[in-house]
Structure formats: structure tokens, C-alpha cells
Amino acid sequence: MNKKIGFIGLGIMGKPMCRNLLKAGYVLYVYDIVQASVDEITASGANACASISEVAENCNIIITMLPNSPQVKEVVMGKGGIIENASKGTLVVDMSSIAPLASKECEAALKEAGMRMIDAPVSGGEPKAIEGTLSIMCGGEQSDFDEAKPLFEVMGGSSVLTGAIGSGNMTKLANQIIVAVNIAAMGEALTLAVKAGVDPELVFNAIRGGLAGSTVLEAKVPMVLDRNFKPGFKIDLHIKDLKNVVETANELKSPIFLTTQVLQMMQVLSGEGEGGNDHGGIARFYEKLAGIEIC
């Protein structure tokens, strides 16, 4: 594989992903609207670019890791963007979590320009981005997935092609439903235990090895017990994902009762200034209603 890679979007996830690529020997050309983020990754060995066009002119594989659909569409299709400046045959690997229809729109525009795209959103938050053990859910052509696979092996612990373009983001939406509902159930259960006078840490230790045990519990219960809501994945970002779930479900006429309830919990917390906290902080919704703290 060509070792020269473009990377656009150096946020909480993008920066550690870049560092892992640099450690693996890839030559990175990076861009972000926040210059401090560019400077940070440049200090780790990347080449700073002053614009999207500079990235596109230097690389025929470009990874994007951006907040939501509008930003991805602007970077791909907007003025000064990838389509205007990249060469034919360029492969765009969008690792942002966006609406599946937006992925399809971007891929169609790239294809018309003689370029290719995979949607490859990730799960695991900042800790797994740092470890290089993200779960990567992909949509696109098998040949394009195979071309990007060595990159995924550096950034992730697993990568699965789930179908045509947009399938990766559809899989990510399913992931985000399960994670959100799981965290909410955790908050509800531990709040009940505390109200009953039972030690929440002992409850966790008792159930973690049974059917209720999960990766979510292992990651989030210790944070709640330590009152540590430093974001690995912010409530506001999970709100964005669940809004994409609602939009997609409405288009497909698919029921999402649990998702809409948890989305409302998150929006209440965000309105109270807690949107920048880790999504494990959904437990705070129950704590406030019950008038207790889990720990």
C-alpha cells in the first residue's frame, strides 16, 4: 500500500488514530480547522496542510474523521474540497459517524468524479482509539475495503465489511442504539440499588460475569463509581448519533421507542450543561430524579 495518507479531522478520535498510523510508518498529510490540533500532530511527525486541497493534492487515500454529515459533505463536495482537488482513483475512507444517506450522497458524487469511497465509522471511544483497538464497521466495494484493510489493522482491533456504501454507518447506528440503551439501563439499575441501600460496586461485581455483563458495564460503571465523567465519547456526540438514528428510522418507518426515550434523557442533560461529559453520565439523569448519587 502507498504509505502516503491524508487525514482530515483531528479531534478526540482523529489525533490518536493519526499517532497510530505514524507509529506504523505511514506518512501523513493532515488538516483541521483548529490549528492547535494540526500543530500537535505535526509535532508527532505528520506533515501540516493549510487546506483540504493541499491534502487532496498530495494523497490518493484520504481518511476523514469529522463531527457529522454536513461537515463530511462540505469536505468531500464543497468548494476547495476533495472532489475539486484530488486525482481520479482517489479513495476516501470516511470514518466519521454520519447518516447513511449522506454517505451514499458523497459516494455518488465521488464516483461521478472518478473517485471511490468507503464509509467506515468506529466504536470504542478515545481509549480504544489510543490503543488502536477500535471496532470498524465498513460499507463499500470489497476491493476498496481490501485496499484500506492495512490501515484498519493499525487503528482497530477488528474491521468488518457489512455491505454496500452506507452499511457501515447503518451498523454504527445500531451500535449506538445498543450502547445508549445499555448505559441508561445501567444508570437505572444502580440508582435503584442505591435507593435500596445496596452497595453499587458489589452489585456490579456480582452481575458482571452473568448475562447482564457487557463491555459497556466494564467501561462505564467504574467511571460512574469514581465520579469521572471526562469524555471518551461526549453526550452531545451521542445525541448527534441518535438524531441520525431517528432520521433514518423515520425514513424506513422502523420503530425506535427505547432510542427516543434515551435521546430525550441526553438532551435534558445537555440542556443542563452536561453535554460535554462522557455518555456514561446518562446515569446522572436518574441520580437527579432520585435525589441520590450512585457513589
State the amino acid at position 54 in one-letter form: E
Q: In what order do the strands lie in the sheet with 134-138?
A: 122-123, 134-138, 156-161
Question: Per-residue pLDDT tens for 3-23?
Answer: 899 999 999 999 999 999 999
Which of 164, 186, 217 terminates a domain? The answer is 164
Distance CA(6)–CA(13), nearest Å, equals 15
Q: Give the pTM.
A: 0.89
Q: Specify if 228 maps to a domain.
A: yes
Q: How far apart are CA 66 and CA 185, in angstroms?
A: 29
Q: Are 234 and 282 in contact (CB under 8 A)?
A: no
pLDDT attached to residue 72: 98
* Residues 54 and 136 grouped into a single domain: yes
Q: Which of 176, 9, 170, 175 has the alpha carbon at shortest distance from 101? A: 170
| pLDDT score at 232 | 82
Show the beta-strand stretches assigned E in the chain: 4-8, 27-31, 47-48, 61-64, 91-94, 116-119, 122-123, 134-138, 156-161
Looking at the fold, whether 175 and 147 belong to one and the same domain comes out as: no
With cut-offs at 50, 70 and 90, classify the pLDDT of residue 2.
Answer: low
Q: Give the residue numbers spanning the domain of 205.
A: 170-290
Question: Which amino acids are annotated catalytic?
Answer: 172
Render pLDDT for 18-40 as a digit per residue (tens, 0 to 9). Answer: 999 999 999 999 999 999 999 99
**pLDDT tens digits, 116-171:** 999 999 998 888 999 999 999 999 999 999 999 999 999 999 999 999 999 999 99
Q: Is residue 244 part of a domain?
A: yes
Q: What is the number of domains present in the chain?
A: 2
How distant is the alpha carbon of residue 213 from its chain centre? 23
φ and ψ at 161, to 5 degrees? -85, 115
Whether residue 154 is found in the same domain as residue 181: no
Q: What is the CATH number of the domain that holds 252?
A: 1.10.1040.10
Backbone torsions φ then ψ of 221, nearest 5 degrees: -60, -45
Is 295 among the domain residues? no
Map residue 264 onto helix, strand or coil: helix
- Regarding whether 193 and 281 lie in a shared domain, the answer is yes
- Kindly give, in sequence order, each residue whose CB lies less than 8 Å from that of residue 220, ignoring residues fewer than 6 positions away: 183, 186, 278, 280, 283
Cβ-contact 217, 188 below 8 angstroms: no
**Domain closes at, from 105, 130, 164:** 164
Centre a 10 Å sphere on the Cβ of residue 202 and count the other Cβ atoms it contains.
10
Do 119 and 101 lie in one domain? The reply is: yes
Q: What H or E segment, with its residue span, contains residue 152? A: helix 142-155
Q: What is the DSSP letter of 46?
A: P
- For residues 157 and 207, state if they share a domain: no
CATH code at position 60: 3.40.50.720
Residue 114, domain member (yes or no):
yes
Can you tell me the distance from the alpha carbon of 241 to that of 219, in angstroms, rounded to the nearest whole number? 20
In a domain, 118, yes or no: yes
pLDDT band at 252 (very low <50, low <70, confident <90, very high): very high
The reply to whether 15 and 142 lie within a common domain is yes
Same domain for 175 and 145: no
Q: Read off the pLDDT of each residue in 61-75 and give the average, rounded to a whole number.
A: 97
In a shared domain, residues 212 and 131: no
| SS3 category, 66 | coil
Looking at residue 1, its pLDDT comes to 57
Each residue of 179-229: pLDDT tens digit? 999 999 999 999 999 999 999 999 999 999 999 999 999 999 999 999 999
Residues 136 and 45 in one domain: yes
CA 25 – CA 277 distance, rounded (Å) = 34
Which of 149, 164, 179 lies at the terminal end of a domain, its last residue?
164
* Residue at 275 is within a domain: yes
In a domain, 189, yes or no: yes
Q: Which pLDDT tens digit goes with each residue over 253-281?
A: 999 999 999 999 999 999 999 999 999 99
Q: Are residues 102 and 191 in the same domain?
A: no
The answer to whether residue 266 is domain-embedded is yes
Alpha-carbon distance 209 to 206, whole Å?
A: 7
Q: At what angle do helices 235-252 and 257-269 cross, to 10 degrees?
A: 150
Tell me, yes or no, whether 176 and 244 share the same domain: yes
